[in-house]
Chains A and B, each alone.
Chain A
Amino acid sequence: MAAAVNILIFLAPASVFLALIGLAAFWWTLGHGQYDDPQGDASRILLDDPSDRPGRP
């Protein structure tokens, strides 16, 4: 029983760490203006020109 609970010492920090990665990714996208032009980004994928990359000008 005790052995089964001990695994928590690894699992709990691991799950928090994984969620932190998600939070950091969100912070990064926010800082890089990925929510500034949702319509434009949705349309850009339809263009064939490979130079049209998302992101700021």
Chain B
Amino acid sequence: MAMTAAHAAPQDYSAFLRAGDTDGEQTVDLLVQGARCAACMAKIERGVGALRGVTSARLNLTTGKLSVGLAGGGDPAQVIGRLEELGYRATPFDPMQAISQRDREGRRLAMALGVAAFGAGNAMMFSVPIWAGLFGQELGPATRTLMMWLSAAVGAPCAVYAGMPFFQSAWRSLRVGRANMDVPISIGVVLTLAISFVETVLRGRDAYFDAAVSLLFLLLIGRWLDHRLRASARSAAADLLAMQAPAATVIGQDGERRVPLREVSAGDLLLVRPGERIPVDGRIEAGCSELDNALLTGETAPLAVKGGDLCRSGGLNLTGVLTLRAAARAEDSAVAAIARLVELGAQSRSRYVRWADKAAALYVPIVHTAAAATFALGWAVGLGPREALLRAVAVLIITCPCALGLAVPAVQVTASARLFRRGVLVKSGAALERLAEVDHVVFDKTGVLTEGRPRLVDPVAAEIAMAAPLARASSHPLARALAAHAGSVMLADDVVETPGQGLEGRIAGRLARLGRAAFVGVAGAPSSETELWLAIEGEAKIRFVFEDGLRSDAVKVVEDLRRRGLTMEILSGDTAGPVARAAKATGIESWSAGLSPQEKAERLARRAGEGRRVLMVGDGLNDAAALAVAHAAMAPGAALDASQNAADLIFAGDRLAPVVEALDIARSARGRAMENFAFAALYNAVAAPAAMLGFINPFVAALAMSGSSMVVTLNALRTGWRRP
């Protein structure tokens, strides 16, 4: 039980502290898993707050981050220990990341939204009398001009402030010689404000100050929704990263220290306990153990390592405490080579043109040509330049891109919220668009189709009960799989674990061994990595065989996908035997085994060359490159950080069904978005000619604009309502 003592050794978390708000105080940010309700919050805040040296503890229930203020004597390790006692796993958060999370852009957008709401409401208040005047109510020209001036005084400054995000974006895009959606919006708003001022000064009839601000208000809602979607996905992705390889334990002259991964340099001496991942590539100085490389290579069988062996980063240490000499920095480790492939894939993916941009590419030239034609023709047929210009501006306002600017973000926010509730995290709106288009699915085997952990074959209750007292004492995956079948049992006495070999202890006074064939004294048996032997003094030796079982719903998912018209194949880095078995069990005919990460990526590129749009579902580091080149990519929540970075969607839990659910919702989202585009096109087809012929006055403009936005928003809310 020397191992337990090593686990309890105090660790130094000083690298994660940052200066607090007041002198002498420091703050540490912790990511807490599993806190969901008011009771959890009270328990955590009181439990941590009662610790010595803790001045404040506040949990953000929305993001799951606990902010702890520490004064002299406060120790983050103690806080983490207390959280563990309370039943919550906690990880320190990199202080640099914590600061960058203060969301400047989100506040700027929210403020612009607030100002636009204020401006729209108040400018419209002054517009109501003007509208009444349009319908022949008593309103003298002097009063009307007064109202127009008041409307201008409130509406114009608000429009300038609320329009800034659009003006800036339009300017940035024009400078690189392109026109994005914000260019017509900016031109529309500026022209509208200018013409309204001219009308007000000339004591005319039509002022559109309220229309300009409400247009910005509606567009800002879409912009803000889109921002929220991206921000929440980004912070959730950062959380996942923080949970996985947050820190390495460096052995220095003054003991062990936990440091952020990027501060590890080549030559550092690192301590890796059982259950931790190898942080960077390194050579073993002391200790022997077994490594689970399933996420690296897709191989299910653990790899035995001893002093002098080279370990690659990402492997999971199973049994023994290892001391490593770091051979590379985190950025230069085995992961980095794959990261470069991922980057290449991400570049090809960034060329994807989003739906809204495709629609904008059609919308902009048509509307601007129509507006210019209205002006030219109107003047030509003798309307006079002022009236012709008014009509041209009316065309720009009435064909407002609200439906375009609001339709897609509203659909995507609704879709990702529904997916989030089913445990699927969507990393961007574009991910949903690409997922809706896939027609071919590529599965990795280990950890995707299978659970990625061993399961006992043909369990016999009596045999398990005999082995359980020993199996309980180990964290080795085979022993844990065995113990999972047993109920609560007494631990064996005097248990000693020999890394890479097995366990020895006394059960009811009799000496017992559980482990490899050679360890328990079975001579001549082929030593397999996927079996355990049990020997109890005076009893026959018992053999337990394990295999990596399929996820419980893998067969059904394959069936569901086939029914939706998708073709499937398996690309795995594992050996042919297990891959063939998984393919047969799930009913996927096409499979390949023993592939390297590059070969996987090449296979996907070849499929893309054939005109297929491929969804890649993978978890390992060996899948990261393939995930990045795929048209759309999903990774389970247990995947390595590099894979989660490369994937568009991440799903949690033991089931594979989220793949089907995500596909259904993405397709439903595409349906809603297309309906919204169709509605917007229809609306514009009616409104634009009406504006050209001069039927549009400020009242009709305000009504039509907010009406069309309302329709697309309500339609967006239907996304994924019915379970298909």
Contacts and interface: CB of A to CB of B under 8 A. Distances in A.
B69 A57 contact: yes
Interface stretch (B11-19, B120-128, B477-485, B681-689): B120-128
A26 B114 CA distance: 7
Contacts, number: 59
A18 B67 CA distance: 37
A46 B154 contact: no
A17 B63 CA distance: 37
A12 B41 contact: no
Given A22-B118, A43-B38, A46-B38, A37 B110 contact: no
Contact of B58 (A12, A23, A57): A57
Interface magnitude class on chain B:
20 to 34
A1 B562 CA distance: 77
A57 B60 CA distance: 10
Contact of A43 (B58, B61, B111): B61
A7 interface: no
A46 B61 CA distance: 14
A52 to B, nearest CB: 8
B584 interface: no
Nearest to A56: B58
Given A23-B115, A57-B69, A43 B56 contact: no
Interface in A4-56: 5, 8, 12, 15-16, 19-20, 22-23, 26-27, 30-31, 35-40, 43-44, 46-47, 49, 52, 56
B121 A40 contact: no
Nearest to B60: A37
Interface string B37-74: 11001100110000000001111111100010100000
Interface in B67-96: 67, 69
B121 A19 contact: yes
A15 B59 contact: no
B580 interface: no
B150 interface: yes
Contacts of A40: 41, 59-62
Contacts of A26: 114
Nearest to B63: A37
A23 B62 contact: no
A44 B110 contact: no
A20 B42 contact: no
A37 B154 CA distance: 33
B603 interface: no
Nearest to B142: A5
A36 B101 CA distance: 11
A8 B149 CA distance: 13
Contacts of A5: 143
Contacts of B121: 19
B146 interface: yes
B107 interface: yes
Contacts of A57: 56-58, 67, 69
Nearest to A49: B42
Contact of A16 (B62, B114, B122): B122
Contacts of B107: 30-31
Contacts of B115: 23
B59 A27 contact: no
A19 B118 CA distance: 7
Given A46-B38, A57-B56, A19 B62 contact: no
B296 to A, nearest CB: 37
A40 B62 CA distance: 6
B41 A8 contact: no
A38 B121 CA distance: 26
Nearest to B126: A12
B51 to A, nearest CB: 15
A47 B59 CA distance: 14
A27 B118 CA distance: 12
Interface string B261-296: 000000000000000000000000000000000000
B169 to A, nearest CB: 22
B497 to A, nearest CB: 43
Interface in B139-173: 143, 146, 150, 154
A8 B150 CA distance: 11
B38 A47 contact: yes
Nearest to A47: B42
B413 to A, nearest CB: 15
Nearest to B49: A51
Contacts of B125: 15
Contacts of A49: 42, 46
A48 to B, nearest CB: 9
A35 B122 CA distance: 25
B146 A37 contact: no
A12 B122 CA distance: 9
Interface in B192-224: none
Contact of B118 (A23, A35, A44, A46): A23
A43 to B, nearest CB: 4
A8 B60 CA distance: 48
A32 to B, nearest CB: 11
Nearest to A35: B110
Contacts of B60: 36-37, 40
Contact of B62 (A15, A27, A39): A39
Given A43-B41, A47-B38, A57-B69, A23 B114 contact: yes
Contacts of B37: 43
Given A15-B125, A40-B60, A30 B114 contact: yes
A16 to B, nearest CB: 6
Contacts of B46: 49
Contacts of A46: 38
A15 B115 CA distance: 15
B291 to A, nearest CB: 40
Nearest to B121: A19
B544 to A, nearest CB: 45
A47 B46 CA distance: 12
Contacts of B114: 23, 26-27, 30
A8 B146 CA distance: 10
Nearest to A18: B122
Contacts of B62: 36-40
A40 B60 CA distance: 6
B38 A27 contact: no
A46 to B, nearest CB: 4
Nearest to B41: A43
- Pairs A-B, 6 closest by C-beta atoms: A40-B61, A43-B38, A57-B58, A39-B61, A37-B60, A46-B38
23 contacts: A8-B146, A12-B126, A15-B125, A19-B118, A19-B121, A20-B118, A23-B114, A23-B115, A26-B114, A30-B114, A31-B107, A35-B110, A37-B61, A37-B62, A38-B62, A40-B60, A40-B61, A40-B62, A43-B61, A46-B38, A47-B41, A47-B42, A49-B46
Given A37-B63, A39-B62, A40-B59, 18 more contacts: A12-B150, A19-B118, A20-B118, A30-B107, A30-B111, A36-B60, A37-B61, A37-B62, A38-B62, A40-B41, A40-B60, A43-B41, A44-B41, A47-B38, A49-B42, A57-B57, A57-B58, A57-B69
